[in-house]
Structure 1
Amino acid sequence: MKRRDFFAKSILGSIGLGALIPGMGVSKPVNRPFRKQARNIIFLVSDGMSTGTLTMADLLLRQKEGRKSRWMNYYQGGFAKRALMDTASANSLVTDSAAAGSSWGGGMRVPNGSLNVGPDGELPVPILQKFKHAGKSVGCVTSVQVTHATPASFCVNEKSRSAMQEIALKYLELEFDLMMGGGSELFDASSREDRRDLFGAFDKAGFSVARNRDQLMALKGEKPVLGIFSAGGMPYAIDRENDPELKKKVPSLAEMSQKAIEILSQNPNGFAIQIEGGKVDWAAHANDAPALLYDQLDFDEAVGIALDFAARDGETLVIMTTDHGNANPGLFAADKFSRLYTTSRSNEWVLSQLSPDNTPGQVADFIETYQGLQLKKEEIDALLKSYQETSADGLYGSTRLPNHLYARLQFPHTGIGWAGTGHSADHVELAMYGPGSENLPAYIENYKLHNFMLDAAHVPAMVYAN
């Protein structure tokens, strides 16, 4: 295996606002009283974002490019209102994404695993249905399947988050204005259990169906939109940005967000949208530091898109938060952190290319080429040995890779450590900018955000489906 040069253009160089969205400049934020009513709501959630994730992504951007993340820039400039939020579900202090999203989406705490179905069978009307009924355009953008827990929590009532094929059917019935993300296996007849062609059904129902980046960029908003750009979850940002063919076909979260806001904002009555960096959570579960930090930066570009729109518009409430912490990563050796500046691939991508047939020398060369790490012989031997044993280490994907072993081996080389591999009960960051943000208390329970959003937009509050 011959050593290859790193791609000359790193993700950090390619996802700057000016380069990413032609003609898209950064609007200067204002620190003044906002209008009394939010015509638009942009709800941004970096799924599974522990405080360490937000911190390290900002440090990475500062150290490599000399600029702050958009999220932290709004903190530092005093433009965003900031709070802590609890994340409990109805049956656990440690929530899952379905229950956490449902607290926002339905305004009540539900058991882990369910989507807007309460402990006693309550069926609160999901918030995007309320905004749609109020005459606003509504939609979701995500880097995972559009039917995954977090986007679905704003849209549907479903007893199990796993019922993603049924959720896709409910999306067709709801006829929301825009859904973008991954999950083609949930819409393609060849992979659905009922063999229904949902792509064809959406097209017949009058939707524009986009399946790649070019088709996304060509959308004008004359019709509602279904944009599906990958089979399962979308690729990690660092892998997409360093694969020219993949980058040509698969849009970034910021590109999807920019197009979604462009389309939804055509409604004079306003819009409400949820934008999710879903793969931040997947990377945290896998203890995949390169995937985690660059997907958080990918999410931060979407934050910038939303904040720039809100600064120009003056009638948009932007909410930035996470549903729960995950794995609680942290930087423990600053002198090692620079290795993350030049890495060009996620751990998942690197591990998926290796096998027991590789020699230690091949493994060493491959990892140094794509991640800049010089592993010791005993570390490589341990890694190769793991491929000869059964591992159920991979999460949310088809791969069964030694993710957590590799993360432990990386610690002496990157300085990044992990507290675990699952969700935490930590209070999390919540920030707002725009009309209504002045009413945010310093501490809030997650379910109270539902009525907070409705109040900010002057939309009627709690109702139930039955």
Structure 2
Amino acid sequence: MNRRKFLKGSALLSGLFTLNPVDFFANGVKEIPDPKNKAKNIIFMISDGMSSGTLAMANLYSQNILGKNGNWMSLYLENKVSRALMDTASASSIVTDSAAASSSFGGGYRVRNGVLNIGANGEKHIPVWQKFKKAGKKTGCVTTVTITHATPAGFCVNSDSRNAENEIAEMYAEIGFDVMMGGGDEFFNPLKRKDKKDVYSLCQQKGYQILKSKADLNKAEKGKKVLGIFNSGALPYSIDRKNIPELQQTPSLAEMAQTAIDQMKDHKEGFVLQIEGGKVDWAAHANDISALIHDQLAFDEAIKTVIDFAEKDQNTLVIITTDHGNANPGTIYGPDATQNFNSISNYKFTNEYILNAIHSDFNLQQIKDWIYETNTISLADDEAKHLLSFYSGLERQEGGIYNYKKLPFKAYSEIQKKHNSVGWISMDHSGDYVEVAVYGPGRELLPPFIKNTDLHYLMLKAGQI
């Protein structure tokens, strides 16, 4: 079949999404040509909330500070992948949330923001990992946020609300996915759930082994289902885990990915695995450049883990993308732009950690000393006064989706911008087109421009189910 039918007029119709994001596509696997070779395994990698500027800055940091190209960019440079731009709209908006975005991949249809694989009239779209499980494959998800969060859930379950994480945890146990790892102890632990339900016990009754720390990864029993819950809430940001000893018992995304692959790779029918760098999105919401770059680099290390396996295996389709942009960060022109950007290598912690450590009883010298110690930034008196005002109640405390303590993220990122030449357009998602890279059997199915739902059918066609 002509590859143009895969697009089904997307190039002509994409402009209409700005007015009404109606589903113009066929939502059918028949529109995609047959692959040259069947993919036994599929690994779908999502750097959540990764604007193109995030990818560019992480690679620039890798080149300038670490002395090497990133793994994602190396796939482009070595021409190992097919590459596309992707439209990320949801059924209700040109700007998607993570639930609708994951549902586009997972269920093959665009749904309203906030729901998981539920159509406008209540129809339930079967999630893709359930389809592959029924076909005999092992199934799994690993993430740096809660395992019940929107992105892993969109590949696995149907729900009227992405926030129903207690219920999503129970659904996972009932359906029986083979490997599930991330954060979210509060959704499994009877001591933290309002209903006191022990979902850990329910999972153990279903045959799961429970992993609670990085050390447990090496003890995982092969052939037995795995539930790895390594934190209450999300996992720590990568740079904080590196520099704060008490956080180092939590695994990296690459370490979780390796364990998930090792647990499922010998299954005769193959496996499917979603890998999410979820805190890239959280860092963008906070305009936190240190958190953003280091978690994107952690995602990049997971890419190496996956590609190393796929190159040896030769039967694994790897899809690397994001679900949407967020905050559209980028470097700003100026005579000292390079030097300013490189100064980010002096940042020892996330802004979240730095700002949490400031208290209302700090004087100006204390706050100036703390910022210099952690970011090597010398605050002017007026900058120190402005930052301190947020803690003494003189300024309105700032919001942000994952800013539960109302920290002055925006104010501090504006101060940092003068020193690191990085700017942000907002503290929320954006509707820009995003990158897609595809490696392995089925890469030839990817045209230069696609709609997010197309990846659902590409997976089904590549896996021939």
TM-score over 0.5 (shorter chain): yes
Kindly indicate whether the alpha-carbon contact (under 8 Å) linking 1:35 and 1:314 is maintained by their aligned counterparts in 2: no
Q: Secondary structure at the match of 1:337?
A: helix
Q: Which position in structure 2 is the counterpart of 1:426?
A: 432
Whether the 8 Å contact between 1:35 and 1:315 is mirrored in structure 2 is no
Deviation, structure 1 residue 403: 0.6
The corresponding residue for 1:26 is none
| Structure 1 position 41 matched with structure 2 position 42 | yes
3-state secondary structure, aligned to 1:429 = strand
Matched residues, percent identical?
Answer: 49
SS of residue matched to 2:131: helix
Aligned to 2:27: none
CA–CA separation in structure 1 for the residues paired with 2:314 and 2:266: 15
Secondary structure at the counterpart of residue 235 of structure 2: coil
Q: Which residue does 2:412 correspond to in 1?
A: 406
Greater Cα shift, 64-73 or 329-338:
329-338
Displacement, 1:201?
Answer: 1.6
**Count of matched residue pairs:** 425
Whether the 8 Å contact between 1:394 and 1:402 is mirrored in structure 2 is no
Q: Please give the secondary structure, in 2, of the residue aligned with 1:373.
A: coil
Within the alignment, does 1:440 sit opposite 2:440 as a pair?
A: no
Q: Does the 8 Å contact 2:286/2:402 carry over to 1?
A: no
Matched, 1:102 2:100: no
What's 1:277 paired with?
277
Q: Is the 8 A contact 1:82 1:431 kept in 2?
A: yes
> What's the CA shift for 1:397?
5.0
Answer yes or no: is 1:317 the counterpart of 2:317: yes
Q: Secondary structure at the match of 1:338?
A: helix
Separation of aligned partners in 2, 1:352 and 1:266: 45
Q: Distance in 1 between matches of 2:400 and 2:358?
A: 15
1:46-445 alignment runs, 5 A limit: 46-247=47-248, 249-332=249-332, 333-389=337-393, 390-445=396-451
Give the secondary structure class of the aligned counterpart of 2:268.
coil
CA offsets 1:289-335 (integer angstroms, 9 cap, x no match): 00000000001101111111111110001100000000000011222
AA in 1 matched with 2:303: V
SS in 1 for 2:441: coil
Q: Counterpart amino acid of 2:42?
A: I
The DSSP-based 3-state class of the residue aligned with 2:181 is strand
Q: Contact conserved, 1:107 with 1:448, CA < 8 A, in 2?
A: yes
Whichever residue aligns with residue 452 of structure 2, its letter is N
Distance in 1, matches of 2:152 and 2:141, equals 6
- 1 CA distance for matches of 2:267 and 2:422? 45
Rounded to whole Å, the distance in 2 between the matches of 1:385 and 1:178 is 46
Identify unmatched segments of 5+ residues in structure 2: 1-34
Q: Tell me if the contact between 2:398 and 2:410 (Cα under 8 Å) persists in the aligned partners.
A: no
Inter-partner Cα distance in structure 2 for 1:266 and 1:342: 43
Secondary structure at the counterpart of residue 108 of structure 1: coil
Measure, in 2, the Cα distance between the counterparts of 1:221 and 1:409: 50
Letter in 2 for 1:50: S
Cα drift, residue 394 of structure 1: 4.3
Greater shift, 259-268 or 346-355, is seen at 259-268
Equivalent position of 1:25 in the other structure: none
- When the two chains are superposed, the root-mean-square deviation of aligned CA atoms in Å is 1.1
CA contact (8 A) 1:211 1:228 kept: yes
The Cα shift of 1:380 comes to: 0.9
Contact in 1 for aligned 2:398/2:409 (Cα 8 Å)? no
Distance in 2, Cα, partners of 1:316 & 1:199? 32
Q: Secondary structure at the match of 1:282?
A: helix
User: 1:329-349, CA deviations, whole angstroms, 9 ceiling, x for partnerless residues?
Assistant: 001122201111121100000
User: What residue is the counterpart of 1:464 in the other structure?
Assistant: none
2:340 alignment partner AA: K
**Corresponding letter in the other structure for 1:408:** E
Gaps of 5+ in 1: 1-33, 460-466
1:250 CA displacement: 0.4
Aligned partners of 1:339 and 1:373 also within 8 Å:
no
Preserved CA contact (<8 Å) 1:47 1:278 = yes
Helix, strand or coil: the match of 1:336? helix
Is residue 455 from structure 1 mapped to residue 461 from structure 2 by the alignment? Answer: yes
Q: Distance in 1 between matches of 2:281 and 2:411?
A: 18
Q: Distance in 2 between matches of 1:316 and 1:399?
A: 42
Give per-residue Cα distances to partners, 1:22-59, cap 9 Å, x unaligned: xxxxxxxxxxxx96010000000000000000000000
1:398 shift after superposition: 3.2
The answer (yes or no) to whether the contact 2:223–2:264 under 8 Å persists in 1 is no
Q: Give CA deviations for 1:246-297 in whole Å, capped at 9, x if unaligned.
A: 11x1000110011111111121111001000000000000100000000000
Structure 2 distance, partners of 1:443, 1:35, is: 21
**Inter-partner Cα distance in structure 1 for 2:288 and 2:252:** 19
Residue 456 of structure 2 aligns to a residue whose secondary structure is helix
Farther-moved stretch of structure 1 (217-226 vs 75-84): 217-226
